[in-house]
Amino acid sequence: MPDLSSASTSTTEFLSSTVPPTSYLPPIKSLSLSTETRILHQCIAYLRQIYVPSVRGSRRKKTKPPSNLTELHSPSSSSPLATIRKDSFERAYALRWLSALTRLESDSADSPDLADIQDEAAALLAICAGTASAGTVRRHFEFDSGRIQITLSDVPLSTNASNGDYFGSVGAQTWGGACVLAEEIADNTAVFFPDPADVKDVSERTFRVLELGAGTGLVSLVAGKAAMLKIPGCKMDIIATDYYPSVLDNLKANIKANFPGPSPSLTISSQFLDWSSFSSPSDITSGADTSSPIGLFDVIFGADIIYEPLHASWIRKVVRNTLRKPSSSEKDCPDRNNNNNNGQGGVFHLVIPLRPTFVAESNTIEQEFRFAGPGLDKVKNDLVILSREIIVCDAEEEEEDDIDQYSVSDDVGNEAGEGNIVRYAYYIIGWAG
């Protein structure tokens, strides 16, 4: 068993040596109420990284050095860790160890930390039985070589379609498109947000960010942490929105978990938003647009938010009402050194998966938003597609593994020589001109 006495030793370091549960975990017979909670926390984190399923289609294929996006529990199928994950004997031992931990009797009032650990142990037991029965799943992400770390919770898929909240349960899980967009933000923060040196009256100017269909909030959480890390002093207001009550409850909890205290430069909150409530204004002026109940934003994010034919139309109306326009930007919004923006108002960043069975839904984006080009340059109040990039990610499916990978077969591309991949379209949308 590794030495767990050092508080500074990370679980990731242990995993790098691929220590199996039978060697890593304290002996079952030694578990007692006197076992240090710090050691138990490390053991739970170790098991979570092995057995919590990864977010499918979140590892980008690149010709440059490997991506900085690392979900701690998403090894490749050929890694030694994956071998441990598939080892039935090691899993059986881990289950027995977790069961023994949950059976320790304690007074939760006297031992709140142990009670929390036992709750996590029970959740891991359910995960090993399949994610459908697992309840809430905690996920840990690292971006930008570990400088940005996020911990969030997914809630289980609802199998009861009659409750009308199936899409709500889908929205309360982390999907690959959010990982892709979050990675872009972490790796290229200066493209999305202003440089404080360029901001006039930095103490008064607040850079506003809106996320549509935020789900678990990964994109907003990464945006907030990236801003605090890389552009300190720039005041920022991030509003992560969604429609479903269950999603909003989980979103609020995830925000609190990652931003537990107030920040002098950053505010981040969750809010209900009904896309269908926005209507196209009959006359959009070049001045401040008061038709938006939530105000104007410098950047809008959306990931995995097109899954119904009407969504693109609704989203266009939302963006048209809430994205800061060029004339209102020139006065108090700096040139953000964004090649796709150059001070011409706000920008909408949208990532959608390209699913074969959702071709019609995917195509609605290019029906609602035209590509920038001749004839559109003088139409200042038109939203246009400034650029489109196809991003290809590994599906990361592990054969013969009985852990549910949140797989949707429609996401997989099987073109010759490509294997299992997931494709995303990354649109940058802004004002023409």
Same domain, 257 and 340: yes
Last residue of a domain, one of 89, 105, 135: 135
Same domain, 191 and 279: yes
48 occurs within a structural domain: yes
Report the length, in residues, of the chain.
433
Same domain, 176 and 115: no
152 occurs within a structural domain: no
Same domain, 178 and 52: no
149 occurs within a structural domain: no
Same domain, 4 and 131: yes
Task: Kindly give, in sequence order, each residue whose CB lies less than 8 Å from that of residue 14, ignoring residues fewer than 6 positions away.
Answer: 2, 24, 46
3-state secondary structure the chain: CCCCCCCCCCHHHHHHCCCCHHHHCCCHHHCCCCCCHHHHHHHHHHHHHHHCCCCCCCEECCCCCCCCCEECCCCCCCCHHHHHHHCHHHHHHHHHHHHHHHHCCCCCCCCHHHHHHHHHHHHHHHHHCCHHHCCCEEEEEEECCCCEEEEEEECCCCCCHHHCCHHHHHHCCCCHHHHHHHHHHHHCHHHHCCCHHHCCCCCCCCEEEEEECCCCCHHHHHHHHHHHHHCCCCCEEEEEEECCHHHHHHHHHHHHHHCCCCCCCEEEEEEECCHHHCCCCCCCCCCCCCCCCCCCECEEEEECCCCCCCHHHHHHHHHHHHECCHHHHHHHCCCCCCCCCCCCCCEEEEEEECCHHHHHHHHHHHHHCEECCCCCCCCCCCEEEEEEEEEEEECCCCCCCCCCCCCCHHHCECCCCCCCEEEEEEEEEEECC
322 occurs within a structural domain: yes
**Beta strands at 383-394 and 421-431: parallel, antiparallel or unpaired:** antiparallel
What span, in angstroms and rounded, lies between the C-alpha atoms of 113 and 134?
Answer: 21
Last residue of a domain, one of 135, 166, 188: 135
Same domain, 46 and 120: yes
What residue numbers bound the domain in which 244 lies?
A: 157-433
Same domain, 182 and 65: no
Q: What are phi and psi of 150, to 5 degrees?
A: -130, 135
Asked if residue 218 lies in contact with residue 151, where contact means CB atoms within 8 angstroms, the answer is: no
Same domain, 173 and 260: yes
The structure tokens listed for 256 are 């609190």
Asked if residue 312 lies in contact with residue 306, where contact means CB atoms within 8 angstroms, the answer is: yes
Asked if residue 240 lies in contact with residue 217, where contact means CB atoms within 8 angstroms, the answer is: yes
Last residue of a domain, one of 135, 167, 190: 135
Strand order of the β-sheet with 137-143 is: 70-71, 137-143, 148-154
What span, in angstroms and rounded, lies between the C-alpha atoms of 344 and 346?
Answer: 7
49 by Cβ neighbours in 10 Å (0-12 / 13-18 / 19+) ranks as: buried
* Short-list 345, 344, 336, 328, CA closest to 234: 336
- Confidence at residue 385, expressed as pLDDT on a 0 to 100 scale: 95
**CB neighbourhood size of 331 (10 A):** 7
Q: How far is residue 6 CA from its own chain's centroid?
A: 32
First to last CA, the chain: 64
148 occurs within a structural domain: no
Same domain, 88 and 162: no
257 occurs within a structural domain: yes
* Short-list 219, 238, 239, CA closest to 349: 219
- Confidence at residue 275, expressed as pLDDT on a 0 to 100 scale: 92
Domains in the chain: how many in total?
2
413 occurs within a structural domain: yes
List beta partners, residue 266. Answer: 236
What span, in angstroms and rounded, lies between the C-alpha atoms of 72 and 58?
Answer: 12
Same domain, 324 and 215: yes
Which residue ranges in the chain fall short of pLDDT 50? 3, 5-16, 57, 62-78, 131-133, 159-164, 166, 281-290, 328-342, 397-417
151 occurs within a structural domain: no
Whichever domain contains 275, its CATH number is 3.40.50.150
Note the pLDDT tens digit of each residue in 131-154: 444 556 788 888 998 899 999 988
Same domain, 163 and 252: yes
CA-derived radius of gyration, the chain? 23
Cα distances from 88 to residues 94, 128, 266, in angstroms, run 10, 11, 46
Asked if residue 367 lies in contact with residue 408, where contact means CB atoms within 8 angstroms, the answer is: no
Same domain, 240 and 118: no
Task: Kindly give, in sequence order, each residue whose CB lies less than 8 Å from that of residue 258, ignoring residues fewer than 6 positions away.
Answer: 150, 151, 152, 221, 224, 225
